[in-house]
Structure formats: structure tokens, C-alpha cells
């Protein structure tokens, strides 16, 4: 942290779906707050009684660098059970965190998992965190990136996110891919401290189209986009066949892989890092990280949920906020 700005980093955490594991994972992760993140102070957004119940004690503990911003549940929540009556409560937590980050009160936000269906059942059209963050911050294009941990983590970004497979090809464009690569390049430099990031890019079709025999998206869209990106100084080789790209000999010099659709890149990433990976939204005017898993209703309230991904998401938020502040 810059000696010119001694303020602690302010990190907001939304506790997500009240019937899921978000509240207890937040409490479990922040039990390490004083020792693991001494340079940060945390504001947790959620229902006071719910968090105390899931933490199994009065929470937050006195003296911890954690404060609770109480948002009352619409109706009592039961572990493992969804209730659409609390859909707007979940969205309210996210709205409050976004507003605080946009206004500068928070240096970053970390989001626990929510249940898309509950929000939709509450009468609010909702596709996901990524799309909602883009809409609320008036950001024309954002990029979903998942990442592992370690000195050189596997990172996978997506050219398209929550789309039916039949719609992916039409959603790809030269201009869109160039902008996606520009966002990844910029944020890896600004928020991750990578001076010259190398981004490997997959094709869309099997065998990257096999010279047009299995599809022309590589020839007509992806390759021209990579040429334009390289002209802008972005190191983005490809397109590579996705079924052979994810090998150590290719990834050892890569800082990120750009996959064309959700289930092309994320199964590999989650197989390698699940439970310790994170989700980052690139391109926003604010910093947002999240866990790499869902609400885990079957584990909620049992004490068996693993806080590893939440801890990793907080690690990343603190690191990214520090880079942004000192850049």
C-alpha cells in the first residue's frame, strides 16, 4: 500500500442468497480478517440475525475489523430453502454494495453466491451478477474471468457468458472480440500488476475450424480480431483448438486464456481449481470478485461448506484494490 495513502482498504461483502451458504462462508472467512488482511476493513451487507445464526455466535466479534450493515430479510430464511419473498432483499444487498463502490466508499466488493431463479421469481428479470453489474454501472462491455490461485494461476476469460449454445456464433464479432481483449489486457495490467500480459485465444469450433472445414468463425471473425488486437500492442496469439490448449506446455507462459463460450473454458478451470477459484468481473469502473460456486443449498446450515473460495475472493479483492490504489 502506498505510504501516501495510509487508509485501510474498504471491502464490502454481500452475503447473497439467505437460504444458501453465503452467510456462513462470509462469517467463516472473516474469522481470519485481523491476521490475513490487516490492511483492510470489511463491511458485510446482510441480515443481522441470519448472520449470527449461521456463524453460531454473536457476530461480528468485538474488536474485529468487520462491521455489519444490516439489511432486514423480508421473511425469515431457512437453510437449504429458497423463498422468492427474499429475492428483492438479495438484490438490495448488491445495489447497496455497487452504490458504495461507485461513490468511493468501498475500494472493492466481494459477492457471495445468489440464486438467479429466486430473483426472477420475485418479479425482477435477472441473468446474473456479471450482467447486472454492467447494467448498474452503465458499462457497455464487461468480461467474466475465473481464476485459480498460486504464483501463476490459471485464468480463463469468456467472450460470451450466459447464452444458449445456439446463440454463441451470432454473438461473436470482430469489434466485440477486440474490445474484450482490450479490457482483459488493461485490467491484468492495472489490477493484477502484469506489465505485458499474454492472452491465449481459443477457436470456436472443433479443431479451431480445421481451415474452414468445421466452421468459418475462426477465419472470418476470430483471426481478424486477433490481428487488430496485436496491432494495438496486445499479445493475443491464436486461435487454438480448445481441446489441446489447456496443457502445461502452452499455459506456462500464459497469463489468461480467452474462451469463446461458458462451457468451453470453465469446466477445465473448475476442474483444476474448484473450491479455491474466484470469479472476477473485468471492465467495470469498480472492483468485483466472487466465489467460483453456487449457493450449495444442500450444505447450507450444516457447517460442512468450505470457505476456501470466499477466502480466495477476498484475497483477490484486497490485492486488486491495492494495485489500483498504488497504480
- Residues 165, 133 within the same domain: no
Residue 176 corresponds to which cell in the numbers above? 466485440
Residue 181 near residue 218 (C-beta atoms within 8 A): no
- Residues 76, 197 within the same domain: no
Supply the pLDDT for residue 2: 44
β partners of residue 69: 45
In this structure, what CATH number is given to the domain that contains residue 164? Answer: 3.40.718.10
Total of domains in the chain: 2
- Residues 170, 278 within the same domain: yes
Q: Which tens digits make up the pLDDT trace of 11-69? A: 999 999 999 999 999 999 999 999 999 999 999 999 999 999 999 888 888 888 999 99
Burial of 228 (0-12, 13-18, 19+ CB in 10 A): middle
Residue stretches of the chain with pLDDT short of 70: 1-4
**Euclidean distance between the first and the last CA atom of the chain, given in angstroms as a whole number:** 10
- Residues 104, 238 within the same domain: no
Supply the pLDDT for residue 1: 44
- Residues 193, 205 within the same domain: yes
- The domain boundary, picked from 283, 300, 316, lies at 283
- Cell numbers 472470418 correspond to 220
Please state whether 212 falls in left (phi above 0), alpha (psi between -120 and 50) or beta: left
- Residues 126, 167 within the same domain: no
- Residues 220, 327 within the same domain: no
- Residues 316, 257 within the same domain: no
- Residues 291, 273 within the same domain: no
Supply the pLDDT for residue 96: 98
- Residues 272, 165 within the same domain: yes
Give residue 24's domain range.
1-139+284-327
- Residues 327, 273 within the same domain: no
Neighbouring C-alpha atoms within 13 Å toward the C-beta of 175: 2
Q: Which tens digits make up the pLDDT trace of 304-313? A: 999 999 999 9
Cα–Cα distances (Å) from 108 to 44, 187, 271, 279, in that order, read 12, 14, 27, 13
Supply the pLDDT for residue 58: 81
- Residues 225, 173 within the same domain: yes
Supply the pLDDT for residue 4: 58
Supply the pLDDT for residue 61: 83
CA distance 112 to 170: 32
Amino acid at each position: 500500500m502506498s505510504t501516501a495513502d495510509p487508509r485501510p482498504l474498504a471491502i464490502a461483502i454481500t452475503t447473497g442468497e439467505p437460504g444458501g451458504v453465503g452467510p456462513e462462508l462470509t462469517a467463516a472467512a472473516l474469522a481470519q480478517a485481523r491476521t490475513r488482511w490487516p490492511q483492510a476493513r470489511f463491511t458485510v451487507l446482510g441480515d443481522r440475525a441470519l448472520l449470527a445464526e449461521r456463524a453460531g455466535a454473536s457476530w461480528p466479534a468485538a474488536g474485529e475489523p468487520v462491521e455489519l450493515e444490516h439489511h432486514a430479510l423480508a421473511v425469515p430464511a431457512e437453510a437449504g430453502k429458497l423463498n422468492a419473498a427474499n429475492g428483492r432483499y438479495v438484490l438490495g444487498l448488491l445495489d447497496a454494495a455497487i452504490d458504495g463502490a461507485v461513490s468511493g466508499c468501498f475500494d472493492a466488493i466481494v459477492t457471495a453466491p445468489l440464486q438467479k431463479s429466486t430473483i426472477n421469481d420475485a418479479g425482477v428479470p435477472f441473468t446474473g451478477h456479471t450482467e447486472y453489474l454492467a447494467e448498474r454501472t452503465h458499462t457497455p462491455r464487461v468480461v467474466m474471468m475465473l481464476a485459480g490461485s498460486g504464483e501463476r494461476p490459471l485464468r480463463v476469460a469468456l467472450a460470451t457468458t450466459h447464452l444458449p449454445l445456439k446463440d454463441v456464433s451470432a454473438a461473436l464479432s470482430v469489434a466485440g472480440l477486440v474490445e474484450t481483449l482490450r479490457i482483459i489486457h488493461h485490467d491484468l495490467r492495472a489490477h493484477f500488476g502484469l506489465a505485458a500480459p499474454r492472452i491465449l485465444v481459443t477457436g470456436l469450433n472443433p479443431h479451431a475450424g480445421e481451415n474452414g472445414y468445421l466452421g468459418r468463425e475462426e477465419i472470418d471473425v476470430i483471426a481478424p480480431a486477433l490481428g487488430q488486437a496485436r496491432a494495438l500492442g496486445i499479445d493475443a496469439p491464436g486461435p487454438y483448438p480448445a481441446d489441446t490448449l489447456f496443457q502445461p506446455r502452452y499455459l506456462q507462459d500464459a497469463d489468461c486464456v480467452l474462451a469463446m463460450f461458458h462451457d468451453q473454458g470453465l469446466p477445465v478451470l473448475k476442474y483444476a481449481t474448484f473450491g479455491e477459484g474466484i470469479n472476477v468481473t473485468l471492465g467495470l469502473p469498480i472492483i468485483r470478485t466472487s466465489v467460483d460456486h453456487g449457493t450449495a443449498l444442500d450444505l447450507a446450515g450444516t457447517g460442512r461448506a468450505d470457505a476456501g473460495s470466499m477466502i480466495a475472493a477476498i484475497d483477490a479483492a484486497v490485492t486488486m484494490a491495492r494495485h489500483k490504489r498504488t497504480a
